[in-house]
Chains A and B, each alone.
Chain A
Amino acid sequence: MPDPTFEALVERHSAEIHAYLWRLLHDPEMASDVLQDTFLRAWRAFPRLNHRDHLRAWLYTIATNRARSLQRAHARREMSQIGLSDELSDPCASVAAQAADRDLRSRVLAAVDRLPAKQRQALVLRRYQELGYDEIAAIMGGSMEAARTNVHLAQERLRMWLSDVDEGQTSERRGGQ
């Protein structure tokens, strides 16, 4: 990369954008593809960029749009393809507990996927990427109020759809039986 400013941008934000895409898409390969696509587009547009004040929000906007068009283009992947994180494949957990974790994970992701795209994006941006409502509004192209409403509606729906999840499924299991 010849442009040190762009290189710094990659250094500073690529991990964060990757986490965002992973949370939106739940698929390591797709997250990596869209990350690549996002930064390639950013790289091509960078020389023509007039204002370089809100680069982080700009990257989030590109990533959001790319993820959305990928999701439109591809049918949803099978839940069975979702990799388990280290935490969920804890070797100390019993087989039954691991199966319960898998079920929980599938249920949660299915519920998150059922959310309208804007609500899902707003929820992930606010709750997990920890962005402010002003930033979310800028990224998603709406008002702060709309961003707040989207997060609220997303949480309300998830609480309703997941109201019967078992507390045992979400308790910490590290450290043995």
Chain B
Amino acid sequence: MRRPKMGPKMDPMRAVDRVLGPGPDEALTAAARARLTAILHEQAAPVYYDVLPDSLLGTVYLAAGDRGLLAVGLATDETRFVRRIAEQHGRRPVRSPLHLQEARRQLQAYLCGERSVLDVEVDLSGVSPFHREVLEAARRIPRGSVVSYGEMAKRLHRPHAGRAVGQALAHNPVPILIPCHRVVSAGGRLQGYLGDRIGLKAKLLKLEGVPMAGDRIVVGGRVS
């Protein structure tokens, strides 16, 4: 290989230009745009909601689009839930018991302890890839067991991302369906659910057979 000729001192900004100037290659931009367009198209589809009153967790609100359940609202009211869905999805949801019939039926049975598995399609397409990864992992935690935030981070091959995992779970759009309540602190403390609704988390875990004492999991309900 020839040695580069020594020339006059060059402007270091040429090096910056060389790295940043060309920008992303076309395939990358095309892929990003395709993903964006698909998501925006989905945003235009109608969103429906319905209400499940008097459940174990109080009134539960459900919203769904054509591809599955988009949101489960706990500890809220109809006005706030509708507003949240409108803000998140760009349009006001329409109340439609018909569209939510199956999800509502299953959830009702689950919260009465008459059903142990929920088989409802969930639509996470509006969730960022990392958050989706966390939520999918939470979905695999079986009923009756709990996992710590740190363990979740390890399972995602990001052992130091415990806090980011907590953030992703805090933004779970479909609690109960994606059982973020099964993720607890390493010491077995429940630590956070929909802000400060730890009582709801405890009720869900109890329903699923995890032995609880106040907001702590007792021996036998081991934290992995």
- Chain A residues with CB under 8 Å of chain B are 1-2, 6, 10, 14-15, 18-19, 22-23, 28-29, 31-33, 35-37, 39-40, 43-44, 47, 73-74, 85-87, 94, 96-97, 104-105, 107-109, 111-112, 124, 127-128, 155, 158-159, 161-163, 165-171, 177
Contact = CB atoms under 8 A, between A and B. Distances in A.
B32 interface: yes
Interface of B: 1-4, 6-7, 10-25, 28-29, 31-33, 35-37, 39-41, 43-44, 87-88, 90, 126, 128-129, 164, 167
A177 B4 CA distance: 11
A170 B10 contact: yes
Nearest to B30: A15
17 contacts: A1-B40, A1-B43, A18-B24, A29-B129, A32-B35, A35-B32, A36-B128, A40-B40, A40-B43, A40-B90, A43-B43, A44-B87, A74-B164, A104-B15, A170-B10, A170-B15, A170-B18
B32 A112 contact: no
Given A44-B87, A85-B25, A162 B15 contact: yes
Contacts of A44: 87-88, 90
Contacts of B28: 18, 22, 28, 31-32
B33, B37, B164 — most chain A CB neighbours (10 Å): B33
Contact of A19 (B16, B29, B37): B29
A39 B40 contact: yes
Given A37-B128, A162-B12, A19 B23 contact: yes
Contact of A22 (B3, B7, B23): B23
Contacts of A124: 20
Nearest to A166: B4
A31, A166, A167 — most chain B CB neighbours (10 Å): A167
B29 A18 contact: yes
A168 B33 CA distance: 36
B14 A86 contact: no
Nearest to A128: B20
B24 A22 contact: yes
B163 to A, nearest CB: 10
B126 A40 contact: yes
Given A44-B88, A168-B4, 10 more contacts: A14-B32, A15-B33, A35-B36, A94-B1, A111-B16, A112-B19, A158-B12, A161-B12, A167-B10, A177-B1
Contact of B40 (A10, A94, A109, A158): A10
